[in-house]
Amino acid sequence: MLKKTRLMLCVLFYASAAGAQDYKIEVSGYAGWTFSGGVPIDDIEFEGDTFNRITPKSGGSYGLTFGVFVTENVEIEFALDQQRSVLEASGRGSKREFTDMNVNNYHVNFVYNWGDDRDVMRPFIFGGVGATQYKPSDVMGNVVESSTRFSSNWGGGLKMYSSRNVGIKIMARWTPTYIKSDPGGIWCSPFWPWICYRVADTQYSNQFQLAGGITLRF
């Protein structure tokens, strides 16, 4: 009877250990390319040209994430990302690059990792909120202040582990950044035409990033 009890306790112990969460921290560094979109602006006359849209040009990007596993699958992550860009204005048949500009992203994300944390391959998705900072260099010797706007980011990818602690991470990320709201007219209910209110045309600058790098877990 005593031997059976010991055997049962051993089985329960190893079963519990097998289901335990092996990793608590994950740190990743990555690099890639970000495709950036701009927003329309009021007409600006400059040196004989008229510009009505500004765009951070697409360019190389890199970043760092630091995550804490709440459970085996759920992770809370802080993400820091920077895109090296150029501020471009465009208009009626003309384009002009005005200055270099960094686009910095700061987000807190909720990450869901599929599978067991001992799996060699783990797909993941994430979403979160934070801020995007547009930080241009001087324009023709004039200092241009940086601008920070609310943004979110959404995406997913795949983690592939070559050992217990080291792996490769590839991902795609979409970051819509709120820029401004223009008057969009008046909307009236088709059922109660006396109910009307003013609506806004909200402008977002979108970033689409493809990236890959190294991930470490402990």
Structure tokens at 99: 């200055």
**What pLDDT is stored for residue 5 in this prediction?**
52
pLDDT above 50 (res 29): yes
Q: Which of the 8 DSSP states describes residue 118?
A: T
* Tens-digit pLDDT profile for residues 87-119: 998 887 778 888 999 999 999 999 999 999 889
Residue 10, φ and ψ in degrees, nearest 5: -65, -45
Residue 129 and residue 176: Cα distance in Å, rounded? 10
Taking the model in full, what pTM does it have?
Answer: 0.81
Give the up-direction half-sphere exposure of residue 168: CA atoms within 13 A in the CB hemisphere: 5
Question: Of 58 and 189, which is predicted with more confidence?
Answer: 58
**What pLDDT is stored for residue 97 in this prediction?**
86
Q: Which domains does the chain have, with CATH numbers?
A: 22-217 (2.40.160.20)
Considering Cα of 119, then 121, then 123, then 128, what sign does the dihedral take? positive
pLDDT above 70 (res 25): yes
> Which residue in the block uniquely carries the two structure tokens 């759920």?
74
Classify strands 39-46 and 49-56 as parallel, antiparallel or unpaired: antiparallel
25-38: average pLDDT:
96
Q: 135: closest CA among 106, 107, 99, 108?
A: 99
Structure tokens at 27: 């740190």
